[in-house]
Amino acid sequence: MSVLVIPTLGPFHVLHPRYNGVTVLELLKAHQPERIFLASYSPEELAAQSWRDQNELSLFHVLPWAESAGIALEALDHRSELKAEAERFREALSQYPKGQQILSQMRGLEENLKWVVGNPRTPEDFAQDSVLQALRAYHQGYVQVFGEGPATGFRQQRMAQVAAQLGHAWGRVAVLVDLLEYPLLLDHLPAERYKLPGAHTPTELERQRSVLDRAWQLSESDDWTLLLQQLQEVGGPEALYCAAQIYLAAGQIADAFELMEQLVHTDFQHPEYLPGYTLARYGQLADLMGQRDKALQAYRAVLGLSWVPKEAKEIALAGQRTPFRLEP
């Protein structure tokens, strides 16, 4: 059996031009798996697609491809509900002065995690000892203070169970696992049974994704003219959306609205987060252009979708109550 283990970064893929959501997809394509396993999600979560609300960016690309390619996808974490225990544990501690003091002492561990997640990575970085040691130190630090349990989201126990299931797998498979659980899963797998991402030359699709990701994080320090040029080269619905965002940020409302008008008359169903964001922003721009009927129609369309990002839903609900206006 050939098992490729790929760590996923959730929403943090946008920080990594050479390890973005499409990179995960390209690694899978190169491996040509017969099956794909999700180590950090349960069958129920996969069926309910709750990963969307956790902004698991790679899955917005992987799942449609796997479905179209006829590749079976299975979730293995039957105790994934325990993940939430870690956040609840920290929230409970933060309610008390002594708990706040303990949490402040753990900030060094958070720096380990920030070093891994906050610095742009390549696929082969995640096979390096320095990265694996930083991730293990983060987990071990919590275990030393609180023990394996609610404070760690029972990660050790859950990944041991996932590894046991992988022991019965056959053929050429790939496993996607949350970054925090990645080293723990490796600890429970025989070294000869898995391989990690290696040297990888970015594809054109990855390069395009990196441009889109940069636009989603638009800041004043970016070269907006260059970014608009790059988005034009990328093309497609998401690039149009991002370009409209830049025009809006620059105060060019009419130009932003014109682009969004183009977008809403195309097929903008993918990635799955795009329809909600597009229609919500279109409603806001229509309000700014004094076209209240169009705005209300767009807000209603957002709320009529089977799933929308939380932010887009909040925009639509607020827009229905009060016409959108820019802050002075």
Interatomic CA distance for residues 328 and 322, integer angstroms = 16
Q: What are the chain's domains? A: 1-201 (no CATH), 218-321 (1.25.40.10)
Burial of residue 176 (CB within 10 Å: 0-12, 13-18, 19+) is buried
Encode pLDDT of 34-48 as tens digits: 999 999 999 999 999
Structure-model confidence comparison of residues 109 and 70, the more confident one: 70
pLDDT of residue 323: 97
Interatomic CA distance for residues 111 and 109, integer angstroms = 5
Give which of 74, 64, 2, 67 is closest to 38, Cα–Cα. Answer: 74
**What's the full length of the chain, in residues?**
328
Interatomic CA distance for residues 30 and 62, integer angstroms = 13
DSSP strand E in 11-129: where? 35-38, 72-75
Interatomic CA distance for residues 125 and 131, integer angstroms = 7
Encode pLDDT of 250-292 as tens digits: 999 999 999 999 999 999 999 999 999 999 999 999 999 999 9
In single-letter form, the type of residue at position 34 comes to E
Interatomic CA distance for residues 120 and 15, integer angstroms = 6
Q: How far is CA 250 from CA 29, 39, 225, 232, in A?
A: 39, 42, 11, 17
Is the pLDDT score of 10 beyond 90? yes
Rounded to 5°, angle at Cα 16 from 14 and 19: 105
Encode pLDDT of 85-127 as tens digits: 777 777 776 787 877 777 777 777 788 889 999 999 999 999 9
Q: How far is CA 210 from CA 20, 106, 217, 302, in A?
A: 7, 33, 11, 27
Average pLDDT, the chain: 93
Interatomic CA distance for residues 257 and 254, integer angstroms = 5
Cα–chain center distance at 262: 27
pLDDT of residue 151: 67
SS3 37: strand
Confidence of residue 146 (pLDDT cuts 50, 70, 90): confident
Give Rg (Cα) of the chain: 22
What the block records as the tokens of 83 is 């993940």
Encode pLDDT of 178-208 as tens digits: 999 999 999 999 988 899 999 999 999 999 9
Rounded to 5°, angle at Cα 106 from 101 and 110: 140
